[in-house]
Amino acid sequence: MNLDFKIKNLLLICLIFLGVFNQYYSQVTNIGGFKTGADQPEVYLPLLKGKTIGVVTNQTGLMSDKTHVVDFLVKNGIKIKSIFAPEHGFRGDADAGEKVKNGVDVKTKIPIVSLYGNNKKPTPEQLKGIDIVVFDIQDVGVRFYTYISTLTYLMEAGAENNVEVMVLDRPNPHDGYTDGPVLKKKWTSFVGMHEVPVVYGLTIGEYGKMVNGEKWLKDGVQAKYTLIPMKDYHKKLRYSILDKPSPNLPNDKSINLYPSLCFFEGTQVSVGRGTDLPFQIYGSPWTTSLPYQFTPKPTSGAKDPFLNGKLCYGENLSDYKTDLRELNLEWVIKAYKNYKNSELDFFLKAAAGKNLWFDTLAGTDELRRQIIAGKSISEIKESWKSDLNKFEKIRTKYIVYEN
């Protein structure tokens, strides 16, 4: 064994140790020969030559040199008929839930078709003349983050219209573990289309394989599905993300806390939209016994944030050091116990005849009922085990990368 080989092995062991055991997970670049799907054009360009394609992407569709995949494909002579934009738009600057309009990309003059709002699924007319749709978006590995729903609708439309779907895979910042309640069919929505847990431990490319393989698309159809896998990717390491996945997930800290704090979106508590620390703080005007104070105000990523202009009391978790490879219920339970307001319910009311938004995010009404009943965190997590074990048997079939 030569010295160079020993040094390389020692470096890899150190990086793995940092990724797995560091108190707050390390996001490191260029581990060994790591490459995203987009950074392997030698694999996918030959499959696209002579084809007319569509591209589903946003600001995260970047190669390692920060070239956007759309610009790279155009430069290499690939004919792109349409760019399809998910929630937050092609440039990723729209608020959560904000309607994204169709348009034209200023740089390439390619038409942009929104896949958010009333048109979440490409229509036959929008796919007409397209041979392959390339999907390249940085996901965050959490069920209620809507990019996996966009992929699902794309695959469904592809299967129905004989259009191939090609996924250029990217890292999952919550890979290598599963946690949270598994969605019950009654709570199916755009923020939860399948019976999977909140954290499902698959890359977006693996997730698409699972949806296809389990015949979860409408009427059991299956898409022609091509995965361009990453090179030298490890599910328990953490990799740098080239651009923020959406306006209110600006950094690795917010992404790390997102699975645990997003439940607050179904309550009277702010998660810091309209501040410099979205998804790194929480609070409300009514949780006055909590120590941290902030006031949400309009920002570019939150034009009318929840509790706009109101002084909120809560906690600042931006320096929270523990590696959250689990879903943390401590904060939502603490806020519920500290919430004191006779005029408002902690859990947000929904429109008549619809589920509470908290239940929709959780994928079940059981978690809300457990919190109200005063169940302990260990009791709540114990209740998830059976469904998580069942899901794990499905998940295992579609794992492409080493744990």
pLDDT at 64: 96
Q: Is the pLDDT confidence value at 326 over 70?
A: yes
The pLDDT of residue 15: 40
CB of 298 closer than 8 Å to CB of 275:
no
pLDDT at 137 over 70: yes
**Res 340: pLDDT:** 77
How buried is 64 (Cβ within 10 angstroms: 0-12 exposed, 13-18 middle, 19+ buried)?
Answer: middle
Taking only the tens place, the pLDDT of each residue in 264-280 is: 999 999 999 999 999 99
pLDDT, mean of residues 277-286: 97
Cα–Cα dist 145/196, whole Å? 13
Alpha-carbon distance 320 to 256, whole Å?
10
Residue 391's pLDDT is 98
Identify the band that residue 30 occupies on the pLDDT scale cut at 50, 70 and 90: low
Interhelix angle 204-213/147-161, nearest 10 degrees: 50
- What are the CA-CA distances from residue 10 to residues 15, 18, 403 (Å)? 9, 12, 19
Q: For residue 101, what pLDDT band results from cuts at 50, 70 and 90?
A: low
pLDDT higher than threshold 50 for residue 118: yes
For position 328, what pLDDT does the model report?
96
Rg, Å, the chain Cα set: 21
Return the structure tokens found at 295: 């006031």
* Residue 189, helix vs strand vs coil: strand
pLDDT of residue 244: 92
In degrees, rounded to 5, the angle at the alpha carbon of residue 109 between the alpha carbons of residues 104 and 112 is 30
d(CA 318, CA 257): 9
Of 217 and 4, the one with more pLDDT: 217
Q: Determine which of 208-212, 222-226, 259-263, 337-341 has the lowest per-residue pLDDT on average.
A: 337-341
The H or E element that residue 132 is part of is strand 132-136
Which helix (H) or strand (E) segment holds residue 166: the answer is strand 164-168
178: Cβ contacts below 8 Å, ≥ 6 apart: 197, 199, 200, 201, 388, 391, 392, 395
Mean pLDDT within 140-147: 96
Q: Which pLDDT band holds residue 21 (cuts at 50, 70, 90)?
A: very low
Q: Which residues pair with 53 in a beta bridge?
A: 80, 132
Q: In this model, does residue 163 exceed pLDDT 80?
A: yes
pLDDT, tens only, 171-227: 999 999 999 999 999 999 999 999 999 999 999 999 999 999 999 999 999 999 999
Phi and psi, residue 272, nearest 5°: 90, 10
Mean pLDDT of the chain: 89
Q: Which residues lie below 8 Å from residue 118, measured CB to CB, with a gap of 6+?
A: none
| Banded model confidence at residue 97, pLDDT cuts 50, 70, 90 | low
pLDDT digits (tens, 9 = 90+) for 342-366: 678 999 976 555 679 999 999 999 9
* Residues 6+ positions from 4 with CB-CB distance below 8 Å: none
CA distance linking residue 269 with residue 188, whole number of Å: 24
- Give Cα separations from 366 to 173, 194, 329, 358 (angstroms): 27, 17, 14, 11
Asked if residue 192 lies in contact with residue 61, where contact means CB atoms within 8 angstroms, the answer is: no
Residue 199 CB neighbour total at 10 angstroms: 26
Per-residue pLDDT, 230: 98
Which pTM does this prediction carry?
A: 0.89
How many other C-beta atoms lie within 10 A of the C-beta of residue 81? 18
pLDDT at 95 exceeding the cut of 70: no
**Residue pair 85/79 in contact by the 8 Å Cβ criterion:** no
Least confident of 80-84, 177-181, 242-246, 332-336: 242-246
